Amino acid sequence: MILVTGGTGLVGSHLLYHLTLKNDVIRATYRTKSSLEKVKKVFSYYTSDTSLFDKIEWCKADITKVPDMILAFKSVNQVYHCAAFISFNPKDYIEMRKVNIHGTAIVVNLCIDAKVDKLCYVSSIAAVGDAKIGQEFIDETCEWNKELDNSGYSITKFGGEMEVWRASQEGVDVVIVNPGVILGSGFWDAGSGKLFSQVYHGFNYYTEGVTGFVSVQDVVKAMIQLVNSSIKNERFILVSENKTYKEVLFTIADAFGKKRPSVKIKKWQTELFWRFAWVVSKITGVTPLLSKYSARSAHTISKYSSKKIKEKLDFEFEDVQDSINRICGKFQQ
């Protein structure tokens, strides 16, 4: 039995589709019935065959509640841990710790108890350290520095990794993937999906910060290959290409046939705006449009290397432009 936690998220839903192509016994966790409709929508991007979705055994479970997860782990021998809380709002830090660290600890403990064959954990490039002096690209050897002013998301994903490494010391084979910004269809109101919806409806601003981008298809393909390989107790950065936000936004606009964003936002402007947004949120209680950390990342130049997985698995990534063209084609479906 294969278990997928966070089966209704971007990675989880696309992963489930690819798993159902070759496996008959799959269980996935979900929180609400309405979230299952998003998974069905993702499946519809691939096929009209509803029998694949029907293969999944859905288990309603809160990842932070042990009794729920005990039921989810019955007869499980492989685990893909995709569930996570993603936010750059400091107000969400406690909840992120609860989900990303405590929830992962529960998954790890149950993996150890069940003696599962392999655990695959979806981490993030946010949990990878900065490039070393004289090193252009960030790779798996770069150590995360707890002394830096890290975002709550970065801290909790690194904490989740520490729990997963604990599993590796207690007899469970593990692999960790650290994807860049994941581009994929089906979740247009959250994460990178907002890039597509905002540009489609007329977004006029851009920055020239650089980060790594990767398609969700490449992420799930790498996960499945790693779990089914002899590789164990290693982590892998998953980045197709390092791009500026400007390049990505322009490519999305071109794919939609929309006007390209034309107003460059400078660093000092985002510094002012996130502070203003913070004050407004304190007064109104509304989540700020921009946080200190998202403002900083918009201008940071961070380049990542996927050399390790390319060599280990002879892995080939899809070009970012091809990914964006495909995703934009799904936007109005």
Q: Mind listing the pLDDT tens digit for each residue in 301-313?
A: 999 999 999 999 9
Q: Residue holding tokens 């893909």?
A: 80
Structure-model confidence comparison of residues 275 and 262, the more confident one:
262
As a whole number, mean pLDDT of residues 315-325 equals 97
Whether the per-residue pLDDT at 289 is higher than 80: the answer is no
193 and 328 in contact (C-beta within 8 Å)?
no
pLDDT given at position 99: 96
Q: Cα–Cα distance between 1 and 75 in angstroms, integer? A: 6
- Overall average pLDDT of the 254-281 stretch: 85
Judged against a pLDDT cut of 80, whether residue 277 lies above it is answered with no
Determine the angle formed by the axes of helices 193-200 and 245-256, rounding to 10 degrees.
Answer: 50
The predicted model scores a pTM of 0.94
pLDDT of residue 61: 94
Query: Which letter does DSSP use for residue 138 in this model?
Result: B
Q: What is the pLDDT of residue 93?
A: 93
Residue 235 bridge partners (DSSP)? 176
Tell me what pLDDT residue 252 has.
Answer: 96
Q: 10 Å Cβ neighbour count for 5?
A: 27
Token pair 């994929």 is found at 184
**Cα separations (Å) of 161 from 49, 83, 102, 175, 310?**
36, 13, 11, 10, 22
Q: Which H or E element spans position 323? A: helix 320-330
Which of the four pLDDT bands, split at 50, 70 and 90, describes residue 170? very high
Residue type at position 62: D
Nearest to 255 by CA among 323, 187, 185: 323
3-state secondary structure of 78: strand
Query: What SS3 state is found at 99?
Result: helix
Mean pLDDT over residues 120-127, rounded?
96
For range 44-63, the mean pLDDT = 93
Element (H, E) at 119: strand 118-122
Query: What is the reported pLDDT for 297?
Result: 84
Residue 227 DSSP one-character state: H
Question: Is residue 284 scored above 90 in pLDDT?
Answer: no
Among 127, 119, 115, 111, which residue's Cα sits nearest to residue 161?
127
Q: How far is CA 118 from CA 1, 15, 19, 129, 174, in A?
A: 12, 16, 15, 25, 6
Task: Answer with the residue of higher pLDDT: 42 or 268.
Answer: 42
Instruction: Provide the H-helix boundaries in 90-241.
Output: 93-96, 104-114, 152-169, 193-200, 216-227
Alpha helices in 2-140 (DSSP H): 10-20, 33-46, 51-54, 66-72, 93-96, 104-114
pLDDT at residue 280 is higher than 80: no
Greater model confidence, 73 or 90: 73
CB 128 within 8 A of CB 184: no
What is the CB-side half-sphere exposure of residue 185 using CA atoms within 13 A?
21
Q: How confident is the model at residue 69 (pLDDT cuts 50, 70, 90)?
A: very high
Average pLDDT, the chain: 92
The secondary structure element, H or E, covering residue 248 is helix 245-256
Distance CA 109, CA 215 (A): 31
pLDDT on residue 23: 80
Q: How far is the C-alpha of 73 from the C-alpha of 22, rounded, in Å?
A: 21
DSSP state of 187: -
Highest-confidence segment of 34-48, 137-151, 223-237, 257-271: 223-237
